Structure 1
């Protein structure tokens, strides 16, 4: 679907911070017709809620599309509306029309040249792995389970080979529609807290399944099946077929995009 949105006459642009549990959804992107009962997208649910509050159809553009089962702590979207509503009215009105697994956290009026996707300078994700012999009962929708011991230190050291601007072809899905695979990975950290191993990564932008493919390649290193140098070798080889498998969606959370402070958005999405 297109990222372009046609603004109603005399419309004002708003930015929203949206939190959602992606377990029940086919992903962010609306794939069915507006209002279709077959639509199981986060975008479709949010547009329906905002359209009710606005009193006219509302289209939203997001900072970064998420896949089925992936969650978001602070997805940022923008939309245009000529309806006279306060920021608080948009937040409360939309949230009351949304299912329990989606909520609007904040709303900020922005200038017409703000774009949720193209104005962003970075995006951050977190992947959480429960590393113990027994599978989880609680929190299983927000964790991936790995029963074999992981060396988080080795995973962290190996991951540093990815920092910088590179061709990430080894970590993109064959279905990725991006015109090229060059991305700037700005930071990646692997740390352990008790039984949980967390991987946080920030880049200017991500390829389809890039984070999950990176995690899938770090796991053999953490288990001691591959040397720490393997990540650098995969990056240089640019061959997806020899890298690790795609890690499950359940452990992935989109923490949110980052924008220049000139847009005056909340601190959690500002650089």
Structure 2
């Protein structure tokens, strides 16, 4: 009996996270990882378990999350995307697939990730934006938000900006870019960094919203960082406004 050597395939995955309990397999509902495992196992006739780069939370979206899996199937790496997209639900799509070295893993590589948090700021919500933006009718001052964002750029201890349930050796992270832009009723918070803590981007968004609505001045961000206390920062903004938009390997 021929024993085929395992190969490692990388997938670039886009998804609408509305109907899923995040990326990672959960006991309480369906996930992106579970759907990929199901489709891949059916395709390869092997028990497949993917390993993802970013474990996005329930309701969070992505344009370019990365995942790898091992298989003995001889299908060319770039053909997996075509075969998988015929088996996946419409709110999950593999944008690209290719073979990588057997020891390559996206979480072991130096990288930069970019997230966008979108806010629909108007008198009334837009039903066509409801799944991908957080709505607030309170007028937000984006100049104040941009000033506040500047204090978060660089290497800092972001303990105030992560969930109290975060399990990590250090809460020090580096944000390389953070901006707030407004086009019509849409405000976009765009943040790039080399790594993020659990709920970090959503807490940053919630805090910048409070600066924008006048709860405290932009300079207060410095004090929030110094306190290293989750209770000092703003609320965790709803998941639906958050999308992983870029993933760059360094």
Name the counterpart of 1:143.
133
Q: How does 1:53-72 map to 2 (within 5 A)?
A: 53-72=43-62
In structure 2, distance between residues paired with 1:225 and 1:21: 32
Q: Could you list the per-position Cα deviations for residues 7-55 of structure 1 after superposition, in whole angstroms to 9, with x for gaps in the alignment?
A: x9611111111000000001100124xxxxx640110001111111212
Residue in structure 2 matching 1:244, options 213, 234, 238: 234
Name the counterpart of 1:222.
212
In structure 2, distance between residues paired with 1:134 and 1:160: 30
Name the counterpart of 1:207.
197
In structure 2, distance between residues paired with 1:108 and 1:152: 41
Change (3 A) 1:30 1:256: farther
Deviation at 1:111, TM superposition (A): 1.2
Deviation at 1:257, TM superposition (A): 2.2
Name the counterpart of 1:119.
109
Deviation at 1:179, TM superposition (A): 2.1
Alignment partner of 1:20 is 2:15:
yes
* C-alpha contact 2:117 2:241 (8 A) present in aligned 1: yes
Give the 3-state SS of the residue equivalent to 1:117 in structure 2: helix
* C-alpha contact 1:72 1:255 (8 A) present in aligned 2: yes
Name the counterpart of 1:30.
25
Q: Could you list the per-position Cα deviations for residues 153-183 of structure 1 after superposition, in whole angstroms to 9, with x for gaps in the alignment?
A: 2101111111111110000101112222011
Give the alignment's TM-score, normalised by structure 1: 0.88
* C-alpha contact 1:53 1:90 (8 A) present in aligned 2: no
* C-alpha contact 2:77 2:98 (8 A) present in aligned 1: yes
Gaps of 5+ in 2: none
Name the counterpart of 2:249.
259
In structure 1, distance between residues paired with 2:213 and 2:29: 40
In structure 1, distance between residues paired with 2:85 and 2:29: 19
Runs of 4+ in 1 over 4 A off after TM superposition: none
* C-alpha contact 2:144 2:218 (8 A) present in aligned 1: yes
Residue in structure 2 matching 1:48, options 38, 54, 61: 38
Give the 3-state SS of the residue equivalent to 2:120 in structure 1: strand
Give the alignment's TM-score, normalised by structure 2: 0.95
RMSD, aligned α-carbons: 1.4
Name the counterpart of 1:94.
84
